[in-house]
Amino acid sequence: DAGVTQSPTHLIKTRGQQVTLRCSPKSGHDTVSWYQQALGQGPQFIFQYYEEEERQRGNFPDRFSGHQFPNYSSELNVNALLLGDSALYLCASSQYWTAQGTEAFFGQGTRLTVV
């Protein structure tokens, strides 16, 4: 079992550009959540996807959008990048209908640097 995999591991983008980050959930999981972890901070919830729909969203602007595919994998898109978007982006996968009994599994993250 490969667990949660994210790509790429590192990325450097220029301010104003757009970026797409990818996540493949752990086998058997159908829900993907995305988190932003700024340097020296705890992860902040961006949004959660289940059945290809955004189910819950944190306090992030519309520049942050996502998508979930039929195979449960997910993408996080960020438009009009700002220097403040530089962070570690973590993906977490889980099983939607067993929320009462399980926890999410996290990937190793994508380190995004905006210059």
Judged by the rule CB under 8 A, the positions of this chain that interact with other proteins are: 31, 33, 35, 40-45, 48, 56, 58, 88, 90, 92, 94, 99-100, 103-104, 106-109, 111
Is the CB of 79 or the CB of 95 nearer to other proteins?
A: 95
Is the CB of 76 or the CB of 104 nearer to other proteins?
A: 104
Closest approach, Cβ 60 to other proteins, in A, equals 12
Please return the burial class of 103, using the count of CB atoms within 10 Å of its CB with bins 0-12, 13-18 and 19+.
exposed
Show the tokens assigned to 41.
């901070």
Closest approach, Cβ 22 to other proteins, in A, equals 16
Q: How far apart are CA 55 and CA 92, in angstroms?
A: 14
Of the candidates 40, 90, 89, 49, the one whose C-alpha atom is nearest the C-alpha of residue 72 is 49
